[in-house]
Structure 1
Amino acid sequence: MKFGFIGSYGSPAQQVRLAQECEAHGWDGFFTWDGVSLDDEGFGAQPTWDPFGLLAAVAAVTERITLGAMIFALPRRRPWELAQQVLTVDHLSGGRLVLPVGVGVPIDRAFTSVKGQPSTLRERARALDEVLAWLDRSWSGESFEHDGEWAGTGTFRFPVPPVRGRVPVWPVAVWDAAQPPRRSLDRALRWDGMVPQVRGDSPEDAEAGPEHIRELTAWIAEHRDSEAGAYEVIMQGRLDADPDRARDQARAAAGAGATWWIESWWDPTTTTPESLLDRARQGPPAL
């Protein structure tokens, strides 16, 4: 299992430094996040930065760690601009970019304050599929056109493919063992991994625990082609400050089938750039 770290708070310079410290202290990935203008009282007081700009800066000063965002909100992005941003960071990093993707949060004013944007969950889900399809075609190196619900384009061609031919895509998928929501799960199965969430009132409530991951990986084994290759299952959480307890948490996640643990600190009343830096310097537990 690999270990990633989210730069949830801090200036661009602070986040770049945090990413460098993550690489220096044994983490396998650094992730920022994707929001424009949030209307929630807690998160709305925080500045937001362009994730691709941040990741480009991080790519230039790191050599090993995987780069991404938790989560790229694709339905509000123009696919042709997204394709260029993805390709740029992918090449700048030497093929280290991954794309955890989702429908976006409804408190983002880039949805609620912009005319013509998909707004309902179903609309954003359809837009997500459309943007992903456009992005996938852009990696072919061939000319293509698109006539969709949210975007219609004439001929586009991106003659240089991503470093590794394509960029791994990890869609968010909602998990409910009693009644698995097939649309989000089936979407994730078509790609390279998934970021599972359970229903909750906050980002931390929505995190899948080891029991959810165990159920989910069993479901994946049943419904995914066994010859399709490796598949990533991402678990988010907060490791205990005690090294022994942190190791037990990580072992439980790995034993349940998670392939990534993403260290996620979101509470704006307790999390600061300084606390994130201190936590990153502790490094991930040794399994």
Structure 2
Amino acid sequence: MAIKYGFIGSFGTPAQQLTLARACEEHGWDGFFTWDGLSLAAPGFDAQPTWDPFALLGAASAVTERITLGAMVFAFPRHRPWELAQRVLTVDHLSGGRLVLPVGVGVVDDRGFTSVPGQLTSLRERAELLDDVLEYLERSWSGEPFAFEGRHLSAGTFHFPAPPVNGRIPVWPVAVWDAARPPRRSLDRALRWDGIVPQVRGESPEDAEAGADDVTKLVSWIDQERGADAGPFEIVVQGRFDADPAVAAAQARAAADAGATWWIESWWDPATATPALLLENVRQGPPRP
């Protein structure tokens, strides 16, 4: 299977984000992704405006026809799940079933966790709440009335009569990968769903990106765990292509050979990743291995 290419609109106004989404479709990318932050305290990000990901993706669905849409990544433990279910379903239908859900536990640099009394902030609690929210979402896709009782989340009867366009929406959880000591909790979550956004242990987002050797070992482990008869499963890696087309093609080839099914182009330095730079990179198009 050929690797697919996505691009994150890390910075820019909503209008600039929609220009970027259109350019992704026009220049051969397979997906456009935004991100899910509320009020960030991290240095360099605290002065950057953040935008509602579902509003952006709803608008992007109206100006594109082909590409996959999502966010890298949705911080589901910060959302009220019944409202989240409605937003997810709305974008899914607006886009004709092109929405995917890369998901994680969120970061406590976001004041949406730390400035709200009663929010769960420990890693374990956020992970447990993520499982609750994912189960709630899946129940909401049945089209039948349901009540919910999870570890941290409970709700009386809700009814979302319209199921997703394709019956369900692909979920790609973030999971930590360590070949020597595979962390089962986050990996098992990914195995229950439709794909994985792997991270290795590191001090920064760039340090945590899985390289080709990591991906090769991860894919082997996943194949053993899922079995030969399992269905499709997305391996979603993040990185930045080199400005030299030959080097970029080699990066793409290495990721594909390792077993990655998606490469997500990720520029996160607020000092250099200007909207103009992002648009220039999108217009160059992805390399082909």
Q: TM-score, normalised by structure 2?
A: 0.98
| Contact 2:8–2:266 (8 Å) recurs in 1 | yes
Residue 150 of structure 1 and its aligned partner are, at CA, apart by 2.7
Q: Secondary structure at the match of 1:233?
A: strand
Residue 149 of structure 1 and its aligned partner are, at CA, apart by 3.3
Q: Aligned partners of 2:186 and 2:221: how far apart in 1?
A: 13
Within 5 Å, give how 1:112-191 maps onto structure 2.
112-191=114-193
2:106 corresponding residue in structure 1: 104
Residue 228 of structure 1 and its aligned partner are, at CA, apart by 2.5
Residue 41 of structure 1 and its aligned partner are, at CA, apart by 1.5
Q: Aligned partners of 1:244 and 1:41: how far apart in 2?
A: 34
Bigger drift between 143-152 and 43-52 goes to: 143-152
1:199 corresponding residue in structure 2: 201
* Residue from 277, 283, 286 that aligns with 1:284: 286
Q: Structure 2: which 5+ runs fail to align?
A: none
Q: Aligned partners of 2:199 and 2:239: how far apart in 1?
A: 12
Q: Deviations over 1:131-181 (max 9, x none)?
A: 000000000111110123332211111111000000000000000111000
| Contact 2:253–2:288 (8 Å) recurs in 1 | no
1:255 corresponding residue in structure 2: 257
Q: Deviations over 1:7-34 (max 9, x none)?
A: 0000000000001001000000000000
**What is the number of equivalent residue pairs in this alignment?**
287
Q: Aligned partners of 1:51 and 1:44: how far apart in 2?
A: 18
Within 5 Å, give how 1:1-287 maps onto structure 2.
1-287=3-289
The one-letter amino acid paired with 1:88 is: T
Q: Aligned partners of 1:147 and 1:265: how far apart in 2?
A: 39
Q: Deviations over 1:241-284 (max 9, x none)?
A: 11111100000000000000000000112110000000000000
The one-letter amino acid paired with 2:269 is: D
| Contact 2:58–2:94 (8 Å) recurs in 1 | yes
Alignment RMSD (CA, Å):
0.7
Residue 286 of structure 1 and its aligned partner are, at CA, apart by 2.0
Residue 226 of structure 1 and its aligned partner are, at CA, apart by 2.7
Q: Aligned partners of 2:33 and 2:227: how far apart in 1?
A: 29
Bigger drift between 203-212 and 251-260 goes to: 203-212
| Contact 2:148–2:155 (8 Å) recurs in 1 | yes
The one-letter amino acid paired with 1:163 is: V
Q: Deviations over 1:17-55 (max 9, x none)?
A: 001001000000000000000001211111000000000
The sequence identity of aligned pairs, in percent, is 70
Q: TM-score, normalised by structure 1?
A: 0.99
Q: Aligned partners of 1:94 and 1:213: how far apart in 2?
A: 31
